[in-house]
Amino acid sequence: MPLTNAQYDEIGRIYSRRQQRDLEDQQQRIRRAYEQVPGLKEIEEKITDLTCERGRAMLAGQKNEAERTAGELLNLRASKKKMLADAGLAADELEIRYECPDCRDTGYVGGEICHCRKKAVMDLLYKQSTIGDALQRENFRTFRFDVFDKEKRDPQTGRTGYETMQEYVRICRDFIDGFPGQADNLLFTGQAGTGKTFLSHCIAEELIRRCFSVLYLPAPKLFERLADSTFRRDGSGMEDADDVMTCDLLIIDDLGTELANSFTSSPLFTCINERILGKRPTLISTNLSMNEMAGFYTDRITSRLMGSYRILRFPDRDIRVYLRFGENGK
Residue closer to Zn ion by CB (options 19, 166) is: 19
Report d(CA 281, CA 268) in Å as an integer. Answer: 14
> Which has the closest alpha carbon to 310: 150, 175, 141, 132?
175
Residue 165 binds Zn ion, judged by CB under 5 A: no
Residue 120 binds Zn ion, judged by CB under 5 A: no
Residue 102 binds Zn ion, judged by CB under 5 A: yes
Residue closer to Zn ion by CB (options 11, 169) is: 11
Report d(CA 243, CA 131) in Å as an integer. Answer: 16
Identified binder of Zn ion from the candidate list 3, 37, 103, 321, rule CB under 5 A = 103
Residue closer to Zn ion by CB (options 114, 222) is: 114
Residue 114 binds Zn ion, judged by CB under 5 A: yes
Tell me the backbone φ, ψ of residue 61, rounded to 5 degrees. Answer: 75, 20
User: Where does this chain touch Zn ion (CB under 5 A) — which range of 12-20, 97-105, 186-194, 213-221?
Assistant: 97-105
Report d(CA 210, CA 139) in Å as an integer. Answer: 14
User: Where does this chain touch Zn ion (CB under 5 A) — which range of 14-22, 40-48, 115-123, 217-225?
Assistant: 115-123
Residues 6 or more apart from 179 whose CB is under 8 A from it?
207, 210, 212, 248, 249, 281
Residue 121 binds Zn ion, judged by CB under 5 A: no
Tell me the three state secondary structure of residue 329: coil
Residue closer to Zn ion by CB (options 103, 301) is: 103
* Angle between helix 40-59 and helix 63-86 axes, rounded to 10 deg: 160
Identified binder of Zn ion from the candidate list 66, 116, 165, 219, rule CB under 5 A = 116
Q: How far is the CB of 107 from Zn ion (least distance, A)?
A: 6
Q: Residue numbers of the site for Zn ion (CB under 5 A)?
A: 100, 102-103, 114, 116
